C-alpha cells in the first residue's frame, strides 16, 4: 500500500510539474519536473513534444547535471506519454555481459525505489540507467564517468521529486 501511495504521489507531482514545465532554452530554475539536486549544478531544460495534428503523444525532457566537486556529469532524460510506451523492461533478475567476442558491456536489472530498472555499462560509451516509473513514463540517467553512481543519483532524484510533492 505504501508503494502505491508513493507512486501516485510521484506521478501527481510530475503531472503538475508537466503542466507548468518550461519551454526549451528557459533557465534551469524553471526546469519543471527535473528538480535541482544538492551538490549538482543543473543545466537548462530542453523539451520536445510528441504530437500529431489530432493527438498529443507525450514529451521528452533533458537536463544535464554537473557535480560541483569535479564537474562530472549526468544527462537526465524524461519521456512520458502514450507515444512513449516502451515494453523493454524485463521481469526478474538479469546479470549478463556481451560475451567473449563483445567489448565488455554489461546489462543488469535492478530495483530503484520500487521501480524496475536496467543498468547498461559499456567501456567505450559509458553507463545508462533506465527506470520505469509507469508504462508510459521512463527516466534515463546517462554518464561517461566511471566514478558517477547512477543508481544513487536516481534514488536521490526520486526522493527529491517526492519531497517536492509533500510541500
Domain ranges of the chain: 2-165
Give, for all 167 residues of the chain, the pLDDT tens digit: 444 444 433 433 344 343 333 333 333 344 567 999 999 999 999 999 998 999 888 999 999 999 999 999 999 999 998 877 766 788 889 999 988 888 999 999 999 999 999 999 999 999 999 999 988 899 999 999 999 999 999 999 999 887 765 32
Burial class (CB in 10 A: 0-12, 13-18, 19+), 66: middle
Handedness of CA 23, 39, 149, 126 (dihedral sign): positive
What is the pTM assigned to this prediction?
0.78
Amino acid at each position: 500500500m505504501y508503494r502505491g501511495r508513493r507512486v501516485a504521489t510521484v506521478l501527481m507531482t510530475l503531472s503538475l510539474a508537466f503542466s507548468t514545465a518550461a519551454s526549451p532554452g528557459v533557465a534551469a530554475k524553471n526546469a519543471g519536473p527535473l528538480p535541482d539536486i544538492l551538490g549538482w549544478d543543473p543545466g537548462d531544460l530542453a523539451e520536445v513534444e510528441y504530437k500529431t495534428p489530432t493527438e498529443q503523444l507525450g514529451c521528452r525532457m533533458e537536463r544535464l547535471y554537473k557535480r560541483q566537486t569535479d564537474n562530472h556529469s549526468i544527462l537526465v532524460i524524461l519521456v512520458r506519454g502514450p507515444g512513449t510506451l516502451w515494453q523493454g523492461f524485463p521481469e526478474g533478475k538479469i546479470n549478463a555481459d556481451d560475451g567473449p567476442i563483445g567489448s565488455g558491456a554489461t546489462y543488469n536489472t535492478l530495483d530503484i525505489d520500487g521501480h524496475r530498472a536496467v543498468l547498461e555499462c559499456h567501456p567505450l560509451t559509458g553507463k545508462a540507467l533506465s527506470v520505469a516509473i509507469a508504462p508510459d513514463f521512463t527516466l534515463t540517467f546517462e554518464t561517461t564517468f566511471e566514478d558517477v553512481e547512477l543508481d544513487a543519483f536516481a534514488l536521490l532524484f526520486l526522493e527529491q521529486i517526492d519531497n517536492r510533492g509533500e510541500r
